[in-house]
Structures are given as structure tokens and as C-alpha cells.
Structure 1
Amino acid sequence: MILGGGVAGIEIATRLAARTVGGRRVKVTLIDRETAHVWKPMLHTIAAGTRDVHQQQTAYVAQARTHGFVFQPGEVLGIDRGARRVLLAPWLSAQGQELLPAREVPYNTLVLALGSTANDFGTPGVKEHCRTIDSRRQAIEFNDEVRLRILQSVTKNEPLAIGIVGGGATGVELAAELVELATLAEYYGATGMSRRLGVTLVESGDRLLAAFPERIAQASRSRLEELGVTVKTGARVMAAEPEGFRLSDGSLVDAGLKVWAAGVKAPDVLASLDGLEMTRTHQVVVGPTLQATQDADIYALGDCSSLTLAGQGRPLPPTAQVAHQQARYLAQWLPDLLAGRSVPDFSYRDFGSLVSLGGFDAYGSLGKFGFFKGGFIRGRVAQLGHAMLYRSHQARLHGFWHGSLLWLVDRINARVRPAIRVD
């Protein structure tokens, strides 16, 4: 049973369903509270409306039918390790109607791929006043809100102030996409929207993109400021208020629409897993075969796990790159682990980092191996590299030819459909 259909979960389900153990086909069940998968590094474009969610998502039911696994919709309430059962909440429609009752689903082997959420660090007012974009549903809801705010700004001739807390990849990329949204909105009749929009990006650290090389961080900040984004580093948010963010120096960052994109923690449901070794942010500590240190029948990978490789002082970062490599490892070696055979330890290769500032620019490093070790790229080359990461993910889910057709459809739609969501 796989909990979570993100980058790691859906890749494992797709590949593992065709495997066998002892001559018997592996029965794979995938559980997710969403009905469709969206590549997480793309969520900020869905939130801004510069990408169409219906065009980019993969329905779990269709993927399960094609690749031979079982999909069950539901939100995980808890895990009973003694009885080996997963407790699911009632599944409700958008109107609040109960479609499926609360239920318990048995498992033999459990794979935790629940991803992560933003960490508000207990900051007052965040839950009441801020939006997050950690899931497909949240990205869609944010886009609904930002389109409403744009309409109000145009009809009332008022400014629209958006504040983003968190200078990681999500915050930086969302800021750029919102600027692009305003520019494109003018083309569709929102005259003066670029002038009315004010985006402020707040980061408590001394620079943006702390996990990226310094050169990428500096280039990204310079480009954002050229686009009109106000960047505040070394600024700690003490509270979120209806009017904006209150900083530690007492000043107020004006923001009618507020986004919290700071920090990373595993879903709260994992905190209820008594007896497992956890980090302070509820990540399950795993060994070199991705098994929980206290339960060999539970595997965890991606953002909800914590793995420190031999000889390394810090755990692997919570990135899509790590999640994909761990999914590939587990899909290959889990049948052998279930059969009791020894397998090699997981190893990680750093292929570099990429950050995309919408259609304006992109920056990247080439990783820590190979001839161009640690090289810097930008512009069209970096944008192509960013696009190829997504297309590679599609190919892993659908196969080369199907994935190529999806790319072709995207290119056609880019020419015949509006550049932003306007309905």
C-alpha cells in the first residue's frame, strides 16, 4: 500500500504493479485525497493560472487502469501498525456530501510517500489569514482567489498587494509567475494591472534560495527586483494580520492576499505513528534501504522521510529530484526486499538545481559530477532544462510515445488557447 500520489508515490505505483515476488504479481494500492496527480514543482504555475491544471494533471483512476494498480481516494487519519491497517476519513464531495464512509484498509507492506507541507513554525495568524500551495487543490483555490482579486482591482481601480513568505524555490517562482500573470492579464483586458500589482517576497534568511548556489540566488534576486518584486531578506515575520505581515522590527508588509511558502514539514498524521523514529518536523527516519529504522514493514521516501547517507552530516534535501531517485530505487528493489534478498543501499546523485522565473528567465547549476561539474546556466538553456525535468516525469508515468504526444498537445494548446486561465 502506497500512501500519497505525488512524484514518488505515483512513480512507484506505476512501475511496481508490473513486478512479481515469488512468481506472484505484486498487488499495489495507491491512496490519495486528491483525484489527480500534478507534478509538485508545477503547482506555482497552477496557482498563478499560467498553466491549465486540467491539461497538466494525471487522473489516478486512469493511471491505475492503464498500469494495473488499485486507486482508493481518501485522506489518511491514522495508521494502526499493530493491526496493519490504514484509517481513512470519509471522502466528501465539494458540496460536503459523503461519497465514501470512513474505513480501514489492511496492508502487508506500507510505503509512505505523503510529501510535505509548509511549516508556519507556530506563527500567529498564519492559519487564519494565509494560503499555501502544497497541493493541487490548494493551488486551484489560490488561483480562484487571485483571479477574483484581479477583477476587483480592475473594476475598482485599486492596487493589489500580494505578500509571499519564504524565499525558497516555491516563493521565488510564484513571485515571478504572478508578475507574468499581471502582464498577460493586460492583454486580455485588465488594463494597468502590471502597475497595480505589488508583490513582496519576505525571507528570514540573509539571501533567497538558501539551498541553491550563491550565484543563482543573486541572479534570481536581481531579476525579480527588475520585474518590480520587492524582496526583503533578513526579515522575520512575527504574525500574519488581515492587512499583511507584521515583521520583528514592528513594520507591516502590506498584503491583502497572503501566501505562506516557508519551511517544510511532513504531514501531521505522521506524528501519530508511535514507536517510529521521527525528526522534529515529523519526517520518518529511514535507513539505507528506505525502511523505517523501527519497523521493517514500513518504507518512507521523498519529503516525508529523513535519510542521512553514510559520510554525510545532513539529511538529503526535500526535493523532487530526491523523491524521483528514491522512487526508482524502491520500484527496482522492493520485490527483492520482500523476498528477503539483500540489495544495494540507496545512493544519490546530485544533478544540479534549476529555478524558473516564468517566461522571464531561468537559472541552474549542473550538479556535482561530470565534465561540467558545478557549471552555471541561464536563459533558454536553463528553461529547456527545467521543461525537460517535467517531460521526463511524464515519460516515466506514461511511456516515451504517450509522453511525447502530451508534449505535442501542450505546444498546440499554447498556440490556440489563452495563455492564462480566464474562465
Structure 2
Amino acid sequence: MPNRIVIVGGGAGGLELACKLGRKLGPRRVTLIDANLFHVWKPSLHEVAAGTLDIHQEGLSYSMLAHDNGFTFVFGSMTALDRHARQVTVSEACAEDGAVILPERCIVYDDLVLAVGSVSNYFGVPGAAEHTLSLNGPHDAEHFRLRMLKLLTLADLRKTHDPEAGVGIVIIGGGATGVELAAELREASEVQGRYGYPRLDPLRDVRITLLEGAPRILSPLPARVSNTAMRLLADRHIAVHVQCRVTNIEADRVVDAEGQRYPADIVVWAAGIKAPAWLAALDLPLSKGGQLLVNRRLQVEGYPNIMALGDCAACEYADGKWVPPRAQSAHQEADYLYRALLARTRGRPVPDVPYVYRDYGSLVSMGTQTSVGNLMGNLFGASWFVEGLLARCMYVSLHLLHHRAVLGAPRTALLALARYLVKRARPLVKLH
């Protein structure tokens, strides 16, 4: 019986791992489980939310990827784990009317990789779960986009009798997600104003506010990156409030610890993430933050045939330092597990080398024309600041590298060319 590898979660790391293993081992040995039917690279969800990236063109079908890369795709959510029988339970899949399309299933494994990502961490803020949106997945981003279009339409209609009518957007969290979303929304609002919203002034009537609890936005990155991002946001008429601790969120406003109220038609939570709560039911070792506790070989402590990568895994790579929840981390961990699992499946000795996280720097998108960030990180003990078109080209290249990993170089090149041509034949934002 061939060694069976089951990967749960088709995000950046899980999908790349499935594609690489599938091309070597085939569908009988490699299975990917995911609750979605298509994949969108998570760092691009802010573009989907703003409408500058079409989810229906960008989304890659898991069934198509499985066929082309030689793995088996199972549609559904993981609901249980039986470590003794070495099998996971996958939920039934239902249509919109509740009709069962696929029954509950059990998938047997020899090696299991959990790559289930993360969800929003509301830190107990009252009203956060009820009155905010998050960009945890493609459906969240598409829901935000449709709601934004509705609010713009209503505001434009109200302008006939209310000169102050507009749309108030409050983004809580000044990390990469919050900053990128704010910049993308401003750029999109200026384009949307040309398509059917003649009464709205994007800079005045689409009011974007970014709230951050730390002394500066993008606090994990060098101060120069943060300061440049602040300047670019100010140039785009985006209000930024730092050292602002949100204490309550209502249906139409956000309240901070000083009693300041920020009117809002739509509130986005981008202030933190955590591992999915259902991981606690698997009876596996967890960190204080609820992540799966893994060793330097990305194996769950005490269970060498169960591995984890990405946001759901807590891995200490140096004294007191933990692998950060970034796309580059998931990519590196997928590469490491690919080599280890391929050797194990082929009966060869697994390389006795622990996983080591390497920080290659961070890039933050500030719209379709520019980005800002630092390169190389601690690779050579230096940090190089980049801004403008060069940084934007590098940011886009990261997306293309992910596509190359799952589609191959020729198809990635064709896809990039097709996107370039389509953008010149259609509106610059998705309007339906």
C-alpha cells in the first residue's frame, strides 16, 4: 500500500506542498482537503475587496489544480481526527438550499499535514465579532466588495438632498493588511467615481480612517518603512490615528479608550489573527495562542506523523523567536516538508536538518502603482529600503512566484499576459 499524505488546508503553503508532492507521487498518495472550491492567494485579498482584482478571474479551481498537478482534491471541512485509526473526518457539502451534495467522509492517512491558516482575533472587544468584516478568505473579500458597491450607490442617491452624504470606512489595525486595504480602497474609490457615481467626490465623500494601537503603523517593520507608508496614506487623504485603543464597536461607529467616536458605515477588523478554535478539539499540543505546537522539523510534539505549517503552527526557530505568520513563512515551511515527505515516501533517509526561518524582508502594497518595504531582512544582517515602481514590481513578482509553484512557469506567464490585456479591455474595478 503506498504511503498516503493528506494535507488539510489549501492556502499558500498547503497548496504549494500538494502541487509539488502530487507532481512527484501522484493522486493515490497525495490528497488535499479544503472547504473552498477555488484558491486565491491570501495577500491579494485586499485587492479583491477593493474590486481591483476580479475573484472570478483570479480564483484557481482546486479540481483543475489537482488534475494538472497529480493530487486528489476533497471538498469539505475537517471536523474530527482519529489518531489511532489515522483518519480525518470531512464534513458533508451542501447546496444553498440545504440539499446534501456530498456526504460526510473519512480520509485515511499515513502522514498528515495541517495547514488550516488563521481567523480573526478580536481580543474580547465588545461588538467586534458582530459589527466588523475581516479578510480571512475569498468569500469575505467578495462580501466586502459587494457591500461597498451598495453603500456607494446609496450615498450617490442621497447626495441629491444631503450634501454631506458619503461612505465612512474604519479599518482597525495598522499592519500590512490594514494599510494595504486602505490604500487600495482609496485608489478604487477614485476609479469607481468615474463609473456611475457622478455626485460623489472620492476624496471627500469616501472617508477612510485607519486606527492602530501601537505608536506607529507597520510596527514590526523598520521605522523608515512606517514613516513612508504614513506619508503615502496622508497623500491619499486617509486619516491615520496611532496609539488608539478600540474599546467598543457599534453598528454605526467605533469608540476608543479616550471616548473618541469614529462614524462608520463599514468596519474592517485587521488587528490580529489566531489559530482556528476547533484545533483545540483535536487533543494535540497547543501553544498559549491556540496554535499547534511543532518542533524544529514541523512535527506536532509527540506525533511524528502529524505536521503543521503556516499560521496555525507555532514553531520556535531561535531562542525566544517564533516563526511569524507570513506568506513567506508558509512557503519556506512547505519547501521543507516537501523534501522531508518525499524522502520518507520513497524510503530514503529524511534529511537530519531542522527547519530554519529566513527573513527576506517585507513589501507592503500602496496601490497599483507603488509599494514600500525592506528587502533581505536578516539574511545578511542588512535591511534595504525600497519604494516606488521597483518595490511594486517586486511585490507583483511574489504573486507570480506563487502562481509558478502551482501552475508552472509557462502558464503563469500566459496568465500574467492575459490579466494585462483584460485590464485594458474592462473597467479598472469590478462593478458587478
TM-score of the pair, normalised by structure 2: 0.93
Are 1:110 and 2:118 counterparts? Answer: no
Q: Which residue of 1 aligns with 2:285?
A: 277
Give the Cα–Cα distance (whole angstroms) in 2 for the partners of residues 193 and 80 of structure 1. Answer: 57
Give the Cα–Cα distance (whole angstroms) in 1 for the partners of residues 58 and 83 of structure 2. Answer: 36
**How many pairs does the alignment contain?**
418
Partner amino acid for 1:401?
P
Q: Which residue of 2 aligns with 1:308?
A: 316
Report how far residue 187 of structure 1 moved.
1.7
Determine which of 157, 165, 170 is the counterpart of 1:163: 170
Give the Cα–Cα distance (whole angstroms) in 2 for the partners of residues 370 and 314 of structure 1. Answer: 16
Q: Which residue of 2 aligns with 1:3?
A: 8
Q: Which residue of 2 aligns with 1:14?
A: 19
Are 1:368 and 2:382 counterparts? Answer: no
Are 1:297 and 2:280 counterparts? Answer: no
Relative distance call for 1:185 and 1:90 in structure 2 (3 A) is: same
Deviations 1:291-334 (A, max 9, x none): 1112111100011111111x432201100001011111111221
Aligned to 1:124, the other structure's residue is in SS state coil
Report how far residue 243 of structure 1 moved.
1.4
Aligned to 1:18, the other structure's residue is in SS state helix
Q: Which residue of 1 aligns with 2:154?
A: 152
Q: Which residue of 2 aligns with 1:268?
A: 277
Deviations 1:94-121 (A, max 9, x none): 4433222233322221101111112111
Determine which of 198, 205, 208 is the counterpart of 1:199: 208
Are 1:42 and 2:47 counterparts? Answer: no
Partner amino acid for 1:174?
L
Report how far residue 370 of structure 1 moved.
6.7
1:14–1:64 Cα contact (<8 Å) kept = yes
2:66–2:73 Cα contact (<8 Å) kept = yes
Partner amino acid for 2:312?
C
Q: Which residue of 2 aligns with 1:229?
A: 238
Alignment of 1:329-348 (within 5 A): 329-338=336-345, 339=347, 341-343=349-351, 344-348=353-357
Give the stretch that moved more between structures: 62-71 or 84-93.
84-93
Q: Which residue of 2 aligns with 1:129?
A: 131
Partner amino acid for 1:205?
A
Deviations 1:230-270 (A, max 9, x none): 11111111121111112112221111101111111111121
Q: Which residue of 2 aligns with 1:379?
A: 388
Give the Cα–Cα distance (whole angstroms) in 1 for the partners of residues 7 and 201 of structure 2. Answer: 44
2:48–2:54 Cα contact (<8 Å) kept = yes
Q: Which residue of 2 aligns with 1:327?
A: 334
2:207–2:238 Cα contact (<8 Å) kept = yes
1:154–1:193 Cα contact (<8 Å) kept = no
Q: Which residue of 1 aligns with 2:428?
A: 419
Alignment of 1:51-90 (within 5 A): 51-90=53-92
Unaligned runs of 5+ in 1: none
Give the Cα–Cα distance (whole angstroms) in 2 for the partners of residues 190 and 8 of structure 1. Answer: 40
Q: Which residue of 1 aligns with 2:192?
A: 185
Q: Which residue of 2 aligns with 1:27?
A: 29
Give the Cα–Cα distance (whole angstroms) in 1 for the partners of residues 338 and 306 of structure 2. Answer: 14
Partner amino acid for 2:362?
S
2:27–2:70 Cα contact (<8 Å) kept = no
Give the root-mean-square deviation of aligned CA atoms. Answer: 1.7
Give the Cα–Cα distance (whole angstroms) in 2 for the partners of residues 217 and 72 of structure 1. Answer: 42
Report how far residue 228 of structure 1 moved.
1.1
Q: What is the aligned-residue identity percentage?
A: 36
Give the Cα–Cα distance (whole angstroms) in 2 for the partners of residues 380 and 111 of structure 1. Answer: 38
Q: Which residue of 2 aligns with 1:219?
A: 228
1:182–1:193 Cα contact (<8 Å) kept = no
1:16–1:26 Cα contact (<8 Å) kept = no
Aligned to 2:322, the other structure's residue is in SS state coil
Deviations 1:171-201 (A, max 9, x none): 1000111111110011213122402100111
Aligned to 2:412, the other structure's residue is in SS state helix
Aligned to 1:368, the other structure's residue is in SS state coil
Relative distance call for 1:110 and 1:403 in structure 2 (3 A) is: same
Aligned to 2:116, the other structure's residue is in SS state coil
Give the Cα–Cα distance (whole angstroms) in 1 for the partners of residues 323 and 149 of structure 2. Answer: 37
Report how far residue 84 of structure 1 moved.
2.2
Report how far residue 421 of structure 1 moved.
0.6
Give the Cα–Cα distance (whole angstroms) in 2 for the partners of residues 263 and 369 of structure 1. Answer: 24
